[in-house]
Amino acid sequence: MIELSDAGLKFIEGWEGYEKKLPDGRCRSYRDKINGKLDIWTCGYGCTEGVTGDTVWTQEEADAAFRRELRKHIDAVARMVTVEINQNEADALISMSYNIGSGGLSKSTVIRKLNAGDRQGAATAMLAWNKFGGKPVKGLTARRHAEAALFLTPVEGEPDDQMPQTVTQPPAVSTGATVTAATVGTTSIAALASAPPDISAISSWQSAVETLMNAATFFASKPMAIAGVLVCIGGLYLWHKAQET
Catalytic residues: 16
Residue 85 CA to residue 87 CA, distance in Å, equals: 7
Q: Are 185 and 143 in contact (CB under 8 A)?
A: yes
The set of residues, in sequence order, having a beta carbon less than 8 Å from that of 89 and lying 6+ positions away, is 114, 119, 151
Could you give the angle at which helices 138-151 and 119-126 cross, rounded to 10 degrees? 160
Reduced to 3 states (helix: H, G, I; strand: E, B; else coil), residue 177 is coil
Residue 114 CA to residue 119 CA, distance in Å, equals: 5
No. of helices (H) and no. of strands (E), the chain: 9, 6
Residue 170 CA to residue 223 CA, distance in Å, equals: 50
Backbone angles phi, psi at 25, to 5 degrees: 95, -15
